[in-house]
Amino acid sequence: MAVLDEIQASLARLAEGAGSSVVGIGQRWGVGSGIVFGAGRVLTNAHNVRGDQVTVTFGDGRTAEGSVAGHDADGDLAVIDLDTGDAPALPWATGASVSIGTPVFALANPGGRGLRVTFGFVSGIDRTFRGPRGRRITGSIEHTAPLLPGSSGGPVVDAAGQLLGINTNRLGEGFYLAIPADEALRGRVDALGRGESTTPPRLGIAIAPGHVARRLRRAVGLPEVEGLLIREVTEPSPAARAGLAQGDLIVAVAGQPVRTADDLFDALPAAGGTVELGIVRGVEERTVQVVLGESDQPDA
């Protein structure tokens, strides 16, 4: 019973302390949670943000309208600028070692509908998942503290109420992923707070994986080729201006073979302003020069 009493005391203490730093994001749909991490600054997941203005609900029930100071869709992070009033900043854990079996507490305020505090354990480290635009997010903490829908953007903390991670993805069957609150994350968050949004180069296409491309080509009598199938081209976009079309198969970037979406994602930032794509259209091989630019397509 002593262990249960200690957990109960920790939950109550965190609700009273760290809970005042946890906010609700949004009001009707696409709701989430967030963290006060400094005066006038709230951190949340990018997928919780719709547009440049955000409604934030504080633990005392006060609501305020904030503006997005910085946005990183690939890293699933956003910083909101607003009057945080008396809400304290949640302290970051310094030098904390998180390993399998570490006890953790998850806090959330889904859309401002009330504070939740749950208890669990770290079940895995250095996990990888896909962000909202399909990019890999690596090094994540997997834990078992239960979370309701709308909890993403809320914190995972230790028993002292120090930030260990930011909940961002539900795995199902009682497992959850959090972006670790390490020095790299702190640097990214500080940059977003300064308005340094991340806008990686994009082609303006939606893609299908290699196994889909092979199956479709086989179905229409074309030879199977390793690559990524373009299933949609945005207008206007760099891909459209370069003449790429639905049904084209991307087989190379800058002369390097493309087998997976990660091959494409990893090659684009290093390509600079222009990238050379090797494509197959039907049975014809072509080389296309694409002048890169920003796109709102989720895949590439």
Domains 2-193 and 205-291 share a fold: no
pLDDT in tens, 221-254: 778 788 888 888 888 888 889 888 888 889 888 8
Per-residue burial over 109-144, b = 16 or more CB atoms within 10 Å of its CB, e = otherwise: bbbbeebbbbbbebbeeebeeebbbbbebeebbbbb
DSSP string, 38-54: ETTEEEE-GGG--SSEE
Q: What 3-state class would DSSP assign to 294?
A: coil
Residues contacting 198, CB < 8 A, separation 6+: 70, 71, 72, 73, 74, 75, 192
CATH fold of the domain at 205-291: Pdz3 Domain (2.30.42)
Q: What is the pLDDT of residue 200?
A: 66
CATH fold of the domain at 2-193: Thrombin, subunit H (2.40.10)
**Arithmetic mean of pLDDT over the chain:** 87
Positions marked catalytic: 47, 76, 152
- pTM, full prediction: 0.75
What are the residue boundaries of the structural domains of the chain, listed by start?
2-193, 205-291
Q: What is the pLDDT of residue 133?
A: 64
Q: What is the pLDDT of residue 297?
A: 44
pLDDT in tens, 274-298: 888 888 888 888 898 888 765 444 4
pLDDT in tens, 114-166: 999 999 999 999 888 777 666 777 789 999 999 999 999 999 999 999 999 99
User: Distance between CA atoms of 284 and 138, rounded to whole angstroms?
Assistant: 37
